[in-house]
Amino acid sequence: MSTPSTHYRTCHLCEAMCGLEIQTQDQEVVSIRGDKKDPLSRGHICPKALGLKDIYEDPDRLKYPIKKTESGWQQISWEEAFDEVAKRLQEVQQKHGKNSVGVYQGNPSVHNLGTTLFSPNFVRALETKNRFSATSVDQLPHHLAGMYQFGHPSLLPIPDIDRTDFWIIMGGNPLVSNGSIMTAPDIAKRIRAIRERGGKVITIDPRFTETSAKVDQHIFVKPGKDVWLLLAMIREVFEKNWVQLNHLKELVSAEEIAQLQQLVEPYTIAIAAAKTGVPADTIATLTKEFTAANSAIIYGRLGVSVVEFGGLSHWLLNCLNIITGNMDVPGGMMFPTPAFDAIGNKPKGKIRFNRWQSRVRGLPEFGGELPSSTLAEEILTEGEGQIKAMVTSCGNPVLSVPNGLKMEAAFEQLEFMVSIDIYLNETTRHADIILPPAAGLEVPHYDIAFHQLAIRDTVKFSPPVFEKSEGTKYDYEIFVELTKRLQADTLPEDPAMRQKIEFSYQLTPERILDTGLRKGGYDLTLDQVKAQPHGIDLGPLKTRFPDRLHTLDKKINLLPELYIKDLQRLNDSPDTNGQLLLIGRRHLRSNNSWMHNSQRLVKGRDRCTLLIHPNDAKNRQLEKGDTAIVQSRVGQVEIPIEISDEIMEGVVSIPHGWGHHRKDIQLGIAQAHAGISVNDLTDELFVDELCGNAAVNGVPVEVFVKVPLAVSPA
C-alpha cells in the first residue's frame, strides 16, 4: 500500500471555483474536503464536489473511441476514429457545402481548460456558420448588453457582495448555484455577513427559493414580467430626482440620461403592479431603499435571462445600476481584473451581432453562433444550407434545448454525427462515433471564464490528481488531431503562415496559460502560480472605468438603438392572465444532465416533481401523491406533483436536466432516477425575438390530473 497523498485543486463542476483538498491512496480518492486556505472559497464546498470521485470511478464513463455498427457499438483506435471523422465531415461539406455541418457546444466546455482553448481552432477549421451552444439557452442577454453598453460581450458587471449594503436578486438562486454569472462560493455566509453589518438582501422570483429562506424579504413576481418592474423602478428614480452618476458623470452623456427619462415615462408603478403582481407600494419602497443605500446591487440571473424579454431586462438592470451610482464602485456592480485576461487585447467596440441569420426562421447570429432553438429545424428543413452532419461537444441538447423530442427526430435524419463526450447519453446515442476525452481528476485545470466573473480576484492552477489511463486522450489532443486533418489540404503556401498554423498544433494548455499570465496585469508566470497550490489572492474588485471600457469612445453606451426599438414589442405583448406558466428550478446536488450518474448526487426523495400552488392544485382536482399530466404546444409529460405555497399562484415548476428514460443510453444510475425532461415541454418557437435566446421560463402549459385506468372485475 502506497503512502497517502494530498492534492489541492479547484472544483470545476460549477462556476463557484471552490478549493478542494483531496486525499488519495493507491489510485483511489480517500476523501474530498474544502481547502481552508483557498482565498476565494475559504474552505467551503457543496455536495457536488464529492461527485468528482464518482465521475473518476464511473464504470459507464467512456475512455476510448467507439463506433456505431450493425452489431452495436465497437471500440476503434484513435487514428481510425480521427481519420474517419475528418473524412466524413469533409465528404458532407464537399457534397452539400460548408454550412451543411453544424456544431453544438454545451456549457461544460468552459469548465474544461483544453476545450476552452483548443475547440475554437477546430470550429474555425470547419468554416461553417451553423454554430450553436448553450449560451443561447442561458446567458446570451448578459453578453448582448455587455457588448453594446461596455464594448465587449464578456464585460459583464459582477456583484461586489462582500462590500455591499443592499442586494436585490432577481430570478437567481445563488445559494444553490453558488452564483452564476457571479462566481461566489459560500453564498450563505456572504449573505449572512451583509445582514450582520446592517445591510439588506431581497429576492424577487416566482418561487420562494432556497436563497429566499436566508434573506430579509422575498417578493413574488410573474414569470417574464420583471421588465415592467425594472422600467417602473427607473421611472421612479427619475420622478423622485434620485439620479446620481458619481464618477460615471463623464462617461454617460446628459442627452442619453434625458432620453432614458423620456423613454420610461409611460411605465408607471401602477402599470408595473398590474403586469407583475408586485404591489405598487412594494415597488415604491423597494426603489426608495435601493437608492438610499450607501452601496447597492440589483442583479438578475436565469429567471430574468431565459424569458421573452430577457434582452430588455438585462439592459435595464445595467441602466438602473448606472443611474443610481452603483456601477463600477465598491459594493456595487464591478468588473474583475483576471490574471489571465481573455478580454484585454481584443479589438475595441466590435459588434458581432446579426451579421447573418438562421436559414429557416431568420433568427440573429451572436458572436458567430446562431440560437440553439433553431437547430432542429435547420436539420429537418430541406434546402440549400440544410445541416446534414453534426458535431456535439460537452453537450446534451436533447435534454437541454427546447423541444427535445424534435431534436431527437432531427438527429435521426443526419448523414453523419460525431460527439466529443465521456458518456453514451440521450444525445450521443445518435452519433456514429463518440470521442471521449480524459476527464475530471485526470486533467489540469484553470478557470479562464470564471475568473472573469468572480467576486474577488484570485488565481490558481490545478495539476492532475491522477495520470490519465493509458491510451486515452486529453480534450485538447482530440481537437488538435481533428483540426490537423481538416486543414491538411488547405495549408497556405506562404512559409510563414504555414509555420504559424503548424506551430499551433504543438501548443499545450500550459504553454498558452503561461503566455497569458505573463501578458496579464500581475507580472505572473505559470510556475509562480503553480508554486502556490492554494491559489493567490489578488485582492477585492477595483474601479476599472474608463480603462476597462472597450467602446470606441471609452464611454458607456447607455441607450443602444436595438433596445429602444424593442420597447415597442414589449408594449404590444399580450397579458398572460389565466394561463399556467412553467418555470425551471435547480438543485444544489445537480447542475447538468451529465451529473445524474452519481448515486450520491441523485439519492434521496424524487426531485423531478411538478411544484404547484395549493389553489392551482385544488382547481384541477390534484391532491398530494397524484401524478399530473403537463401539456404544452410541443408535447406532454406525466410527473408526480408537489403542492406548496412556495410557488406563486399561476406558476408551476419542473427542474431541468432530467429525462433519462430514453433507450440505448449507458447511464445506469441516471436511468434508475430517470425523471422527465422539462425540455419535452419548452417551445423552440418561444424566444426573445431581440436576440434569439430561448424563453424556457414563462412557457404556457395546461395541467390535468392523471386518471388511473379502470380495472375490470375478474
User: Cα–Cα distance between 432 and 410 in angstroms, integer?
Assistant: 14
The region of weakest confidence among 147-156, 189-198, 520-529, 597-606 is 597-606
The CA distances from residue 302 to 249, 349, 668, in Å, are 31, 26, 30
User: Cα–Cα distance between 590 and 499 in angstroms, integer?
Assistant: 45
Asked whether the beta carbons of 559 and 256 are under 8 A apart, the reply is: yes
Q: What single-letter amino acid sits at 450?
A: F
Reading the block at residue 522, the C-alpha cell is 500581475
User: Cα–Cα distance between 690 and 560 in angstroms, integer?
Assistant: 12
The region of weakest confidence among 332-341, 485-494, 642-651 is 485-494
Reading the block at residue 420, the C-alpha cell is 466529443
Q: What does pTM read for this prediction?
A: 0.96
- pLDDT reported for residue 714: 47
- pLDDT reported for residue 576: 79
Q: How confident is the model at residue 709 (pLDDT cuts 50, 70, 90)?
A: low
Q: How confident is the model at residue 269 (pLDDT cuts 50, 70, 90)?
A: very high
Q: How confident is the model at residue 493 (pLDDT cuts 50, 70, 90)?
A: confident
- pLDDT reported for residue 178: 86
CATH topology of domain 157-334: Dimethylsulfoxide Reductase; domain 2 (3.40.228)
Q: What single-letter amino acid sits at 659?
A: G
Instruction: Give the residue carrying C-alpha cell 464504470.
Output: 59
Tell me the DSSP string of 639-685: EEEEE-TTB-TTEEE--SS--TT-TT---HHHHHT----GGGTS-TT
Q: Is the dihedral of CA 9, 13, 14, 20 positive or negative?
A: negative
Q: What is the dihedral of CA 274, 275, 277, 278, to 10 degrees?
A: -90
Q: How confident is the model at residue 674 (pLDDT cuts 50, 70, 90)?
A: very high
C-alpha triplet 224, 225, 231: angle, nearest 5°: 130
Average pLDDT over residues 396-400: 97
Asked whether the beta carbons of 465 and 428 are under 8 A apart, the reply is: no
User: Cα–Cα distance between 220 and 209 in angstroms, integer?
Assistant: 11
Phi/psi at 393 (nearest 5 deg)? -135, 125
Average pLDDT over residues 451-464: 97
C-alpha triplet 5, 10, 13: angle, nearest 5°: 115
**Which residues are CB-neighbours of 345 under 8 A, at least 6 positions away?**
519
Work out the percent of the chain whose per-residue pLDDT is above 70.
Answer: 99
Tell me the DSSP string of 85-132: HHHHHHHHHHHH-GGGEEEEE-GGGGGSHHHHHHHHHHHHHHT-S-EE
Q: What is the largest CA-CA distance in the chain?
A: 86
Question: Does the structure show a pLDDT above 80 at 701?
Answer: yes
The CA distances from residue 219 to 227, 277, 299, 449, 586, in Å, are 15, 9, 14, 32, 19
Work out the percent of the chain whose per-residue pLDDT is above 90.
Answer: 90
Q: What is the mean pLDDT of the chain?
A: 95
- pLDDT reported for residue 496: 87
Contacts 24+ apart (CB under 8 A), 428-433: 428/392, 428/396, 429/662, 429/664, 429/665, 430/398, 431/68, 431/392, 432/67, 432/68, 432/88, 433/65, 433/66, 433/67, 433/68, 433/76, 433/81, 433/84, 433/85
Phi/psi at 411 (nearest 5 deg)? -60, -30
DSSP state of 471: T
Q: How confident is the model at residue 710 (pLDDT cuts 50, 70, 90)?
A: low
User: Cα–Cα distance between 267 and 334 in angstroms, integer?
Assistant: 28
Asked whether the beta carbons of 118 and 479 are under 8 A apart, the reply is: yes
- SS3 for 386-440, per residue? CCCEEEEECCCHHHHCCCHHHHHHHHHCCCEEEEECCCCCCCHHHCCEEECECCH
Instruction: State the helix-helix crossing angle for 310-323 and 254-264, rounded to 10 degrees.
Output: 130
Asked whether the beta carbons of 460 and 529 are under 8 A apart, the reply is: yes
**Domain 574-705 top-level CATH class:** mainly beta
Residue 556 half-sphere exposure, CB side, CA atoms within 13 Å? Answer: 30
Average pLDDT over residues 261-287: 98
User: Cα–Cα distance between 202 and 225 in angstroms, integer?
Assistant: 17
Q: 10 Å Cβ neighbour count for 618?
A: 12
Reading the block at residue 257, the C-alpha cell is 440620461
Q: How confident is the model at residue 533 (pLDDT cuts 50, 70, 90)?
A: very high
Asked whether the beta carbons of 228 and 194 are under 8 A apart, the reply is: no
Q: Which residues of 245-261 are buried (b: 16+ CB within 10 A; e: fewer)?
A: beebeebbeeebbeebb
Question: Does the structure show a pLDDT above 70 at 646?
Answer: yes
**Which residues are CB-neighbours of 670 under 8 A, at least 6 positions away?**
593, 596, 597, 602, 660
DSSP state of 136: G
Q: How confident is the model at residue 245 (pLDDT cuts 50, 70, 90)?
A: very high
- DSSP reduced 3-state for 164: coil
The answer regarding whether domain 66-138+345-536 maps to CATH 3.40.50.740 reads yes
User: Cα–Cα distance between 50 and 48 in angstroms, integer?
Assistant: 5
The residue length of the chain stands at: 714
586-595 per-position pLDDT tens digit: 888 887 777 8
Contacts 24+ apart (CB under 8 A), 510-517: 510/444, 512/117, 513/113, 513/340, 513/446, 513/461, 516/340, 516/341, 516/342, 517/339, 517/340, 517/459
Phi/psi at 458 (nearest 5 deg)? -140, 170
C-alpha triplet 305, 420, 530: angle, nearest 5°: 80
- Enumerate the β-bridge partners of residue 366: 353, 369
Reading the block at residue 113, the C-alpha cell is 481548460
Q: Which of the two residues, 490 and 222, has the higher pLDDT score?
A: 222
Q: Are β-strands 72-75 and 66-69 bridged in parallel, bridged antiparallel, or unpaired?
A: antiparallel
**Which residues are CB-neighbours of 503 under 8 A, at least 6 positions away?**
none
Q: What single-letter amino acid sits at 427?
A: T
Question: Does the structure show a pLDDT above 80 at 712?
Answer: no
Q: Determine if the peptide bond prior to 546 is cis (ω within 30°).
A: yes
Q: How confident is the model at residue 695 (pLDDT cuts 50, 70, 90)?
A: very high
Question: Does the structure show a pLDDT above 90 at 579?
Answer: no
- pLDDT reported for residue 623: 95
The CA distances from residue 256 to 230, 556, 562, in Å, are 18, 10, 14
Instruction: Give the residue carrying C-alpha cell 483557498.
Output: 38
Average pLDDT over residues 340-354: 88
Question: Does the structure show a pLDDT above 70 at 711?
Answer: no
Average pLDDT over residues 324-344: 96
Domain boundaries, the chain: 66-138+345-536, 157-334, 574-705
